[in-house]
Amino acid sequence: MPSDSPFASAESYYAEHRPRYGDRPILHLVDRFDLGERSRALDLGCGAGQIAVPLAAHVGEVVGMDPNERMIDEAREQARTAGASNVEWLVGSDADLRGAVGEELAPLSVTTMGRSFHWMDRGPTLDRIHDLTEPGGGVAVFGDTEWLTSGRRAWQDEVYDLATEYLDDLPERTGPRTEPYENPYDEMLADHGFEDVEVATFEETREWTVDGVVGYVFSLSFCSPATFGEQADAFETDLRERLEELGCHFEQDDEVRVISGRKSR
Ligand SMILES: C[S@@+](CC[C@H](N)C(=O)[O-])C[C@H]1O[C@@H](n2cnc3c(N)ncnc32)[C@H](O)[C@@H]1O
């Protein structure tokens, strides 16, 4: 396990409790890039396979790539459970993609980056993806509402407030934002050679249980068990107590965004 991974200790929580994106964003991608048996997809920063595994049912081959080896182990297990045998898993980062590994993956029909692009050296990575993509293929950045800092429900305020009692450097609670991360990725895609850039949004309402909320919080890089250190158990006990006082089921409004662009034919 790379101890310098921001997700060290969060991996199993990530695999079990981070929401998948649902069918609609995946089918959007299949339709937009005319994906099929002859297509090869790269999922960069694949984590526990939240995109790679469902996408595998629609293409010939997926390569899931992530620098965190334990995330790759979780992804492999998710693929095995789903019966997805056409996924190859690689330990590597955006820097590796810009090296020799990239050549071996070309030509790519589509590259996805789900909740991972903000960790990368984004401009050079987009240039590299553009080079490795077949004409007419593309790139897609997936994101959704990270509810601990961006949600607006009262139960989410409670979870955030408790976390601030334990952690000094929690990101600010911003409320809903218009961009999934701070950079306008649609403009960035256009600046790096992609055409026909499009932002597709998919609204979802999710239901959370107490176990799900605890697992979600520990799946975040800035709230992982390692971040809490020796206080992780105490935080979990307090969190469960507060949640049980509020009820057993919690609703979350989510918006999944797929920002995609095409390489000219
Ligand atoms: C929040 S998870 C996203 C996982 C999954 N793609 C999803 O959509 O849920 C972010 C992932 O990005 C990976 N990551 C961090 N730095 C990276 C880099 N420089 N290049 C590629 N992936 C990176 C992390 O290891 C982590 O698994």
Position 172 in a domain: yes
Q: Which atom of ligand 1 is nearest to the CA of 125?
A: 20
How far, CA to CA in Å, does 163 sit from each of 55, 171, 234, 239, 242? 34, 11, 11, 9, 12
Position 117 in a domain: yes
How many whole angstroms separate alpha carbon 159 and alpha carbon 209? 13
Position 232 in a domain: yes
How many whole angstroms separate alpha carbon 35 and alpha carbon 176? 33
- The order of strands in the sheet holding 87-91 is 87-91, 61-66, 40-44, 108-114, 133-143, 249-262, 195-209
Residue 200 structural domain: 11-262
Position 4 in a domain: no
Position 1 in a domain: no
Q: Which pLDDT tens digits describe the chain residue by residue (265 residues)? A: 345 899 999 999 999 999 999 999 999 999 999 999 999 999 999 999 999 999 999 999 999 999 999 999 999 999 999 999 999 999 999 999 999 999 999 999 999 999 999 999 999 999 999 999 999 999 999 999 889 988 889 999 999 999 999 999 899 888 766 555 556 899 999 999 999 999 999 998 999 999 999 999 999 999 999 999 999 999 999 999 999 999 889 999 899 999 999 999 9
Q: What is the largest CA-CA distance in the chain?
A: 57
3-state helix, strand, coil in the chain (%, to 5): 45, 25, 30
pTM score, whole prediction: 0.94
Give me the residue label for tokens 């697992």: 215
Position 186 in a domain: yes
Instruction: Output the domain CATH number for residue 94.
Output: 3.40.50.150
How many whole angstroms separate alpha carbon 141 and alpha carbon 133? 15
Top mutation candidate among 5, 14, 43, 116 for ligand 1, by most atoms within 8 Å of CB: 116
Position 2 in a domain: no
Position 5 in a domain: no
Q: Which atom of ligand 1 is nearest to the CA of 45?
A: 22
Beta partners for residue 207, in sequence order: 251
Helix 154-166, helix 210-219: angle, nearest 10 = 50
Q: Which atom of ligand 1 is nearest to the CA of 11?
A: 27
Q: Which residues line ligand 1 (CB under 6 A)?
A: 5, 7, 18, 44-47, 50-51, 66-68, 71, 93-94, 114-116, 119-120, 142
What domain count does the chain have?
1
Q: Compute the chain's Rg from CA coordinates.
A: 18
Question: Could you give the residue ranges of the DSSP H alpha helices within 151-209?
Answer: 154-166, 185-191
